[in-house]
């Protein structure tokens, strides 16, 4: 969710009155379509308790964007505190004004959104470091990703856990567009280009509206798609003692149930999405 991506365009609609696209707030649309902070907080809190037999209290959210995950962490327990790190001032400010302040002082005082490089980290060591929505895929070489994993590990207390996510599957390495109707708009995820030589993946999010207007490339990403074995190897090389993959259980219709397990093997699917937990 970096600043406004190059190539962002508002297209179409309404003479006179502003179009729905022109009136929309791309951070709000992103949050509604992509994020579910309370559910994700519950997942990491439960996994921390399962693996460490204590309650996780302090959390660093790398690539925090608007910081809604950090906020949900602080809201989940009165002793919890979160530090969100992101380079993008506009996005941090949006989160502070639109989400942190309305949440009230008691919670807001336990959420710290900092304009800072994740490589720098914090002075303070925390129970959990989380980097979600594949943001670490901006690191495109083994050397860079290893440096980041080392920085995340340095930021953890002795029994701390590092949480990441990743996606893959047969549908990913090709041009593709997927649409989903949300309340009041259509969310579109596009794979603009996948380079078979480098595994670099350029993707974008577009939003369209009932009056025919559209925000094209509201968010755009330039990533290297890392595979699970590569990620595991680099985490171990960075010094983490154990790496676990969490896979979502599905029901008879193949829909996710929200319950996760650690598979011994995993059949490749059209599209899968996994959490990764690394133990310091």
Q: CB neighbours (10 Å) of residue 164?
A: 24
The rounded distance, in Å, linking the Cα atoms of 126 and 120 is: 14
CB 83 within 8 A of CB 114: yes
Shortest Å, Cβ 171 to ligand SAM: 20
What lies within 8 Å, CB to CB, of 126 at 6+ separation is 58, 59, 60, 83, 155, 156, 157, 160
For residues 179 and 164, give the distance between their C-alpha atoms in angstroms, rounded to a whole number.
Answer: 25
CA angle 202/140/3 to nearest 5° reads 55
Smallest gap from Cβ 44 to ligand SAM, in A, equals: 13
Per-residue string for binding with ligand SAM, 98-137, x by CB under 6 A? -------------------xx-------------xx-x--
**Residue 138 interacts with ligand SAM (CB under 6 A): yes or no:** yes
What is the DSSP-derived secondary structure letter of residue 5? Answer: P
Residue with Cβ nearer ligand SAM (13 or 76)? 76
Cα–Cα distance measured from residue 18 to residue 84, given in angstroms and rounded to the nearest whole number: 34
Residue 74 vs 85, nearer CB to ligand SAM: 85
Closest-approach residue to ligand SAM (CB): 65
Q: Is 91 in the site for ligand SAM (CB under 6 A)?
A: yes
> How far is residue 24 from each of residues 1, 102, 136, 192, 200, measured CA to CA in Å?
16, 20, 28, 24, 30
Q: Where in 17-56 is the site for ligand SAM (CB under 6 A)? A: 35
CB nearer to ligand SAM: give 32 or 157. Answer: 32
Q: Which is nearer to ligand SAM, 124 or 242 (CB)?
A: 124
Separation between Cα atoms, residue 156 and residue 149, nearest integer Å: 11
Lookup result for tokens 């059209």: 270
Which of these segments, 4-12, 85-93, 95-103, 180-188, binds ligand SAM (CB under 6 A)? 85-93
Among 42, 88, 200, 279, binds ligand SAM (CB under 6 A): 88
Does position 190 interact with ligand SAM (CB under 6 A)? The reply is no
Structure tokens at 20: 């729905």
Residues of span 201-230 touching ligand SAM by CB under 6 A = none
Closest distance of CB 65 from ligand SAM, Å: 3
- The number of residues that bind ligand SAM (CB under 6 A) is 17
* Cβ at position 267, least distance to ligand SAM in Å: 27
| 65 forms part of the interface with ligand SAM (CB under 6 A) | yes
Closest CA to 189 of 100, 23, 201, 266: 201
Name the site residues for ligand SAM (rule: CB under 6 A).
Answer: 1-2, 35, 63-65, 85-88, 91, 117-118, 132-133, 135, 138
């Amino acid at each position: 969710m970096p600043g406004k991506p190059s190539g962002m365009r508002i297209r179409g609609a309404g003479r006179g009155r502003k179009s729905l696209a022109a009136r929309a707030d791309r951070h709000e649309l992103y949050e509604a379509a992509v994020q579910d902070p309370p559910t994700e907080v519950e997942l990491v809190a439960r996994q921390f308790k399962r693996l460490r037999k204590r309650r996780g209290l302090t959390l660093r959210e790398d690539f925090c964007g608007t910081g809604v995950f950090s906020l949900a962490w602080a809201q989940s327990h009165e002793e919890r505190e979160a530090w969100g790190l992101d380079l993008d001032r506009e996005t941090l400010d949006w989160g502070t004004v639109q989400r942190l302040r309305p949440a009230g002082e008691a919670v807001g005082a336990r959420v710290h959104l900092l304009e800072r490089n994740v490589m720098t980290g914090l002075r303070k060591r925390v129970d959990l470091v989380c980097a979600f929505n594949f943001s670490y895929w901006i690191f495109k070489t083994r050397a860079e990703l290893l440096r980041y994993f080392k920085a995340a590990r340095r930021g953890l207390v002795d029994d701390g856990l590092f949480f990441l996510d990743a996606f893959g599957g047969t549908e990913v390495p090709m041009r593709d567009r997927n649409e989903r109707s949300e309340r009041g708009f259509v969310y579109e995820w596009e794979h603009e280009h996948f380079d078979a030589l480098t595994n670099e993946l350029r993707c974008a999010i577009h939003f369209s509206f009932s009056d025919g207007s559209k925000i094209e490339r509201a968010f755009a990403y330039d990533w290297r798609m890392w595979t699970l074995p590569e990620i595991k190897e680099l985490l171990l090389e960075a010094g983490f003692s154990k790496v676990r993959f969490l896979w979502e259980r599905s029901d008879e219709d193949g829909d996710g149930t929200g319950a996760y397990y650690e598979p011994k093997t995993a059949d490749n699917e059209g599209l899968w999405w996994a959490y990764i937990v690394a133990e310091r």
